């Protein structure tokens, strides 16, 4: 009996797992990112384009609650540009002296404006699916950058045996292949000012890089510090070796 159970569990493990995996997502393509590796840095022009994609497309549904307009300085925008970007939004403030809430243009110190007043409104506007906050999305998902890029470029015609309900879309890289986000990008939807091609692939790369920066704005500093520490340790090892030789030089 024990033997049978053991055999059974071996069978389930070896045969059951692939059956489960069939409905599971494919791993997204491995992209080459400028920020990969120990010397990787962000491409400022790509970050600005990526912000433009977020602002003109994704921000209609996705909040980025952990970011303030002034954080955009890291993308190379100057103070006046940031003031102008913030002022495009109206936020609620207050209460004033009379106890009333009031509206005013956003300031650089305000957080990115949330497209919805609350989560219920966000779900209601999206067929019951909650568009996740994108501040940390590339950290919240395994293989974050490749995954986000994959989702944005992974929409396909559903195979004949997959039935989609209204408001559902087929995506190669989504777990279970079914996603409640309509394909957000199409060629030409954002007009880049720097002459870069307006293709889905380009938008996906740029907005992904922007989201990686959002989740890890201190990445470049962290890598620089790491390299300095390694250099220091190398030099220190050399000095210690020289000291050791000197101290023990006369010991026979």
Count CB-CB contacts under 10 A for residue 103: 9
> Rule CB under 6 A: is residue 106 a binding residue for ligand HEC?
no
Instruction: Return the residue of 68, 114, 126, 143 that touches ligand HEC, per CB under 6 A.
Output: 126
Instruction: List the x/- string, 168-207, binding to ligand HEC by CB under 6 A.
Output: -----------xxxx-xx---------------------x
Instruction: Kindly list the distances between the CA atom of residue 157 and the CA atoms of 34, 88, 149, 187, in Å, as whole numbers in the listed order.
Output: 31, 37, 18, 18
CA angle 141, 146, 152 (to 5 degrees): 90
Instruction: Kindly list the distances between the CA atom of residue 2 and the CA atoms of 13, 35, 158, 222, in Å, as whole numbers in the listed order.
Output: 16, 53, 44, 54
> Rule CB under 6 A: is residue 61 a binding residue for ligand HEC?
yes
Q: Which is nearer to ligand HEC, 69 or 177 (CB)?
A: 177
What is the smallest separation between the CB atom of 113 and ligand HEC, expressed in angstroms? 15
DSSP 95: -
What is the smallest separation between the CB atom of 6 and ligand HEC, expressed in angstroms? 37
What is the smallest separation between the CB atom of 183 and ligand HEC, expressed in angstroms? 9
Q: Which is nearer to ligand HEC, 93 or 197 (CB)?
A: 197
Nearest partner of 61 among 137, 138, 113, 136, judged by Cα: 113
204, two tokens: 């996906």
Listed ranges 15-23, 63-71, 93-101, 146-154: which one lies at the site for ligand HEC (CB under 6 A): 146-154
Q: Which is nearer to ligand HEC, 10 or 182 (CB)?
A: 182
Q: What is the C-alpha to C-alpha distance for residues 11 and 184, in angstroms, rounded to an integer?
A: 42
> Rule CB under 6 A: is residue 57 a binding residue for ligand HEC?
yes
Q: Which is nearer to ligand HEC, 59 or 82 (CB)?
A: 59
Instruction: Return the residue of 6, 60, 234, 240 that touches ligand HEC, per CB under 6 A.
Output: 60
128, two tokens: 């019951």
Q: What is the C-alpha to C-alpha distance for residues 239 and 232, in angstroms, rounded to an integer?
A: 10
> Rule CB under 6 A: is residue 68 a binding residue for ligand HEC?
no
What is the smallest separation between the CB atom of 237 and ligand HEC, expressed in angstroms? 44
Instruction: Return the residue of 64, 86, 145, 148 that touches ligand HEC, per CB under 6 A.
Output: 148
Residue identified by tokens 């994704």 is 58
> Rule CB under 6 A: is residue 151 a binding residue for ligand HEC?
yes
- What is the DSSP secondary-structure string of 206-248? HHHHHHHHHH-TTHHHHHHHHHHHHHHHHHHHHHHHHHHHHHT
CB 69 within 8 A of CB 82: yes
Q: Which is nearer to ligand HEC, 71 or 209 (CB)?
A: 209
Binding stretches for ligand HEC (CB under 6 A): 53, 57-58, 60-62, 126, 129, 131-132, 137, 141, 148, 151-152, 179-182, 184-185, 207
């Amino acid at each position: 009996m024990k033997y049978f159970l053991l055999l059974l569990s071996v069978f389930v493990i070896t045969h059951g797992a692939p059956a489960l995996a069939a409905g599971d997502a494919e791993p997204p393509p491995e992209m080459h990112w400028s920020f990969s590796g120990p010397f990787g840095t962000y491409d400022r022009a790509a970050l600005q384009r990526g912000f433009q994609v977020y602002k003109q497309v994704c921000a209609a549904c996705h909040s980025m609650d952990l970011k303030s307009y002034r954080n955009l300085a890291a993308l190379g925008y100057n103070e006046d540009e940031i003031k102008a970007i913030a002022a495009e939004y109206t936020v609620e403030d207050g209460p004033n002296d009379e106890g009333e809430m009031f509206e005013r243009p956003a300031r650089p110190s305000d957080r990115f404006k949330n497209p919805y007043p609350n989560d219920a409104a966000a779900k209601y506007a999206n067929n019951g699916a909650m568009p996740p906050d994108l501040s940390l999305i590339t950290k919240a998902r395994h293989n974050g950058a490749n995954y986000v890029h994959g989702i944005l470029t992974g929409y396909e015609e559903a195979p004949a045996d997959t039935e989609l309900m209204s408001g559902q879309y087929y995506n190669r890289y989504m777990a279970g292949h079914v996603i409640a986000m309509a394909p957000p990008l199409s060629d030409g939807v954002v007009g880049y000012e720097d002459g870069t091609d307006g293709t889905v692939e380009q938008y996906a790369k740029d907005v992904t890089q922007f989201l990686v920066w959002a989740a890890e704005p201190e990445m470049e500093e962290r890598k620089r510090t790491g390299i300095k520490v390694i250099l220091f340790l190398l030099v220190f090892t050399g000095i210690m070796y020289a000291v050791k030789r000197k101290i023990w030089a006369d010991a026979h």
